[in-house]
Amino acid sequence: MDKANLGHHISQKFNEELEEIRSLVLAMGGLVEEQIRNAIQALTEGDTALAESVINRDVEVNKAEVNIDEECTHIIARRQPAATDLRLVIAVIKTITDLERIGDQAERVARMGLRLAEVERPKNNYHELQNMGDHVARMVQGALDALARMDAESALMVSKQDKQVDQEYDGLMRQSLTFMMEDPRKISQMLDIMWAARAIERIGDHATNICEYVIYLVKGRDVRHLSIEQIEDELES
């Protein structure tokens, strides 16, 4: 399915409104992607100015969510969309909620970056956090690309990556706990690293949620709370 399959309406204005909310949510997604990458860079490089920028720009993400939500509410009230059109509006409303929460997690990573900039940096320069951050940023990008192309199969492929992010997170948690036991003076620093890792892991979860909304939009099936194997069966049936 692509945007041409959304349907053509007697009202050209309705077509334009539907395309507008698609464009707005993708623009919000682009902003959120930038926030993620900047937050990770700020943490790993100890760039306090960049971290402050991420924190200050979170208000832009919040405003985007409010504006798109209002547009969707107006479409529902004026147009009373049905079938695929209604699924698009619902998917957009759900997606912007997750994007806003991703923005919150990016802000949290930036705040941990400010704290970690005040202590001695490890020799690996937070390599594990960098890898996790890059991974979830690609997931968010992939989820938004699947939404733009209305590609359920691509959305499923992105969802599958969440398992690896969880494994990376578990490994970092074990490593941090080991460091804390070996050197209690590192406890505060390790806790900040763990909070940052938790925020990054949550971004992966939200990216997976967006993929589920794409599948709902394209296939009309609610796959929340289903395993990857069950989702694959749904797409094949």
| Res 40: pLDDT | 97
| Res 120: pLDDT | 85
pLDDT greater than 70 at residue 7? no
Cα–Cα distance measured from residue 229 to residue 86, given in angstroms and rounded to the nearest whole number: 27
| Res 121: pLDDT | 81
3-state DSSP: the chain helix, strand, coil percent, rounded to 5? Answer: 85, 0, 15
232 touches 156 (CB < 8 A): yes
pLDDT tens-digit series, residues 34-47: 999 999 999 999 99
Mean pLDDT in residue range 110-130: 89
Proportion of the chain above pLDDT 70, given as a percent: 95
Mean pLDDT in residue range 62-73: 97
Cα–Cα distance measured from residue 103 to residue 97, given in angstroms and rounded to the nearest whole number: 10
| Res 1: pLDDT | 41
82 touches 152 (CB < 8 A): no
Cβ within 8 Å of residue 115, ≥6 positions away:
192
- Side chain identity, residue 17: E
pLDDT tens-digit series, residues 171-230: 999 999 998 999 999 899 999 999 999 999 999 999 999 999 999 999 988 888 878 888
Domains belonging to the chain, first-starting first, are 8-236 (1.20.58.220)
| Chain mean pLDDT for the chain | 91
Look at residues 118, 138, 142, 203 and name the one whose alpha carbon lies nearest to residue 169. Answer: 203
pLDDT category at 233 given cuts 50, 70, 90 is confident
| Res 3: pLDDT | 47
pTM given for the model: 0.91
Cα–Cα distance measured from residue 72 to residue 92, given in angstroms and rounded to the nearest whole number: 8
Look at residues 65, 72, 100 and name the one whose alpha carbon lies nearest to residue 86. Answer: 72
134 touches 203 (CB < 8 A): no
Lowest mean pLDDT among 53-62, 79-88, 117-126, 196-205: 117-126
Q: Provide the b/e sequence for 1-37 (b: ≥16 CB within 10 Å).
A: eeeeebeeeeeeebbebbeebbebbeebbeebbebbb
- State whether residue 221 is helix, strand or coil: coil
